[in-house]
Structures are given as structure tokens and as C-alpha cells.
Amino acid sequence: MSYLLDDDSKMLRESAERFFAGLESPKLLRQRRNARDLSGEACVAWDGMVELGFAGILIPEEFGGVGLSGRAGIQISEMMGRTLATGPFLSSAVMAATALSRGNNRLLKTELLPAIAAGTVVALAAEETARHHPYSISAAARPEAGGFRISGRKIAVIDGNTAEKLIVVARIENTDRLIMLTVDADAVGVAISARMGLDSHPQVEITFDDVRTAEADLICDPGETRPLLDRVYDAGRLHLAAEMLGAAQEAFDRTIEYLKTRVQFGRKIGEFQALQHRAAILFGELEIARSTVLKASATQSADSISLAKARVSEIAKHVAGEAVQMHGGIGVTDDFDIGFFLKRIRAASELLGDSAFHAERYAGLQGL
């Protein structure tokens, strides 16, 4: 199996690189942080991403999408990481699109997949615990004639504050069966709150108070919910790994440029052998991280995705930490953007399972 990029992925990468490079995202992110702006208007890149077809990258052509693979999609995530671009790509174009396209509700596919490709934001509301536990679901779905009543609380809902539709995972009352279904974000009984997170991205919590839903809102049969949820999470994990790879690569590249220009004791600090050795180690680690992401995107297997998420999380945190250190005291000030890369990597490393979670999952999938 070849892990080299195909022509579609190469062209998409070049297009994404050009687009995101012109956005001045770090500047916009700083303005958003200073203004405590949690509105959808802060995601200024999204309209352009929709226009370029990025929102429908994983959606089949029959439903108005581009119909490319995860190997192509991670090129967008990596470029977003390199530029700190924001927008509901992970939540809507990746995770929600995966849930709907992999589900068996044809009517929902026909209704929502073209809408996602056209820019409608759909977010997954599943997490309930501070540490990632995919099946630890206490939100209750009480059956009633023709549907369910949903009650419960969800945390860390990515882009939940800008979503028009929510994909909610709940447990059928008094059973161990999970269901996945769509709910209007403005439905009666839905309450959404948001605060500014460490990485200047919104941290969203959503409560459901006896929210009425219909059987037609089910994305898949209840018996298929767990494997579908795994697929959705794995799609998100792969793209998060690619985003962290991009952020770490950009932090490394900026640091190398700084080493070439900063003068100390009459010499450019990049001439000091100790810093050269540290930079060489980071270069090698980044190549390892890239290899794990490319393998995961090629195989799409659960074990390779967990390996990529775990490995990239640790490498990216190391690279970003070293980048701050090599910048010296100014590395932790607001005069440079390095701190933003460090914060985003640390936040992304915790999303959808930290390195410990994925190391354990990988070992289990390998029978270790």
C-alpha cells in the first residue's frame, strides 16, 4: 500500500495552502480572544471554505459533495493547523458528514448532506465526561409514540454554539442501547452556553430538557450506533492529528527562521551546536508524526488512527514546547504567535481522547 499523496490530494493541499495563507488567522484569533468573541462571525474563513468545496470534501457526489477520501481531507486540516484557521470543518464537514453518510437514514442523507456541503453547520453532541469515554452516555431518550424525549447534558461540543443542527447520542431509557439522532439547535428545551477556552476556541455545553424528537430523526438503527459512533470519532481523531501536525510543523519552521536571525553574543543563535541538536531531534520527530498520519489516512483502520492521535499529540506538544523555549522570554509573550500554536496543540491533544486513552485503545486493538 502506498502512503504517497494522490493527485487529488496534492491539488487540494495546494489549494488549501493558498487559501489559508491569505487569511491572517493568528491576527484574527488574537482579536477574537481580546474581544471575547464567541459568535459564528469569528469564523471568517468558513464562507471561503464552503465556496472552495471544502465543506463537502467527504460527502458523496450524489449528495452534493466532492466525494474525496480522508487522505484528501487531512490536507485541509493540516493547513488549518499551520495557519491557526478556525471554522466548523472538523465538526460539520468531517464528523457530522461521516455520521450521516455512514448511517442508513436515506431521508436524512438527502436533506442534510447537501446542506452541510452548502455551509450549514451540524455538530456532534456526545461527550459527557471531562476525560474521553465514548460510551459513557447518561443522556436519556425516553420512548414515546413516534419518537423520543431527550434529557441530559453534553460538554465539549465542538462548534455547538454556531450549529443549526445537532447530532445527539443518547441512551434509551432503562436500557444499554444507544441511539444517534438529529435535533434542531433552536428546538424547545435546548439550552446552549459557551465560554472562551485555553486555545481561544469556544468551549460549548448543551443541555436537553425533555426535547421532543421523531423516529425519522434517527441516523441509524440503534444496534448500529456504537460502530457508527466509532467511525465518527475516528474520522475526527484523524483530522485532529493532521491539524496538530500542521501546527507543530509551522511552530518548528518559525523557530528555525528565528534561530537564523536572532543574534546573541555576536553570533546568530542558530550557529550554537546545542540548539542545532535540539532542532535536529524535532525534525526527526515531525517526520515520524507525518508518517503515522499518512499511514492512518491510507489504512483508515482504528488502530492506526489511535496510534496517530497518540503519537502526534506527544510529538506536537514537545515541538511546540521547544519552540517556545528556543524563542526565549519572548516566546511566552503576545508579541509572537508561538504561544497560540502551543495552546491549540494542547487543547487538540485532549479532544476525542488524549495520548493515554489512545495508547490503551491501540494496545487493546492489537491484542496486547
Q: What is the pLDDT along the chain (368 residues), one digit of tens a residue?
A: 556 677 778 888 999 999 998 888 888 888 888 888 887 555 668 889 999 999 999 999 999 999 988 788 999 999 999 999 999 999 999 999 999 999 999 999 999 999 999 999 999 999 999 999 999 999 999 999 999 999 999 999 999 999 999 999 999 999 999 999 999 999 999 999 999 998 989 999 999 999 999 999 999 999 999 999 999 999 999 999 999 999 999 999 999 999 998 888 888 887 889 999 999 999 999 999 999 999 999 999 999 999 999 999 999 999 999 999 999 878 878 878 999 999 999 999 999 999 999 999 999 999 98
Cα separation, 323 vs 237, in Å, equals 24
Q: Which CATH number fits domain 124-220: 3.40.190.170, 3.40.50.261, 3.40.50.11890, 2.40.110.10?
A: 2.40.110.10
List Cα–Cα distances, 308 to 21, 74, 75, 140, 326, in angstroms: 26, 12, 15, 33, 26
- 128: number of Cβ within 10 Å: 16
Same fold flag, 124-220 and 226-365: no
Backbone phi, then psi, for 183, in 5-degree steps?
A: -140, 140
Residue 205 has which C-alpha cell?
A: 455545553
Q: pLDDT at position 263, please?
A: 81
Backbone phi, then psi, for 213, in 5-degree steps?
A: -135, 165
Topology of the domain comprising 226-365: Butyryl-CoA Dehydrogenase, subunit A; domain 3 (1.20.140)
Q: pLDDT at position 268, please?
A: 84
Distance from the first to the final alpha carbon of the chain:
25
Q: pLDDT at position 37, please?
A: 82
Cα separation, 267 vs 354, in Å, equals 41
- Cβ partners under 8 Å of residue 199, min gap 6: 340, 343, 344, 346, 347, 348
- 70: number of Cβ within 10 Å: 22
Name the CATH superfamily for 7-120: Acyl-CoA dehydrogenase/oxidase, N-terminal domain (1.10.540.10)
The enclosing H or E element of 181 equals: strand 178-184
Domain ranges within the chain, ordered by starting residue: 7-120, 124-220, 226-365
Q: pLDDT at position 269, please?
A: 81
Residue 341 has which C-alpha cell?
A: 500554536
pTM of the model: 0.95
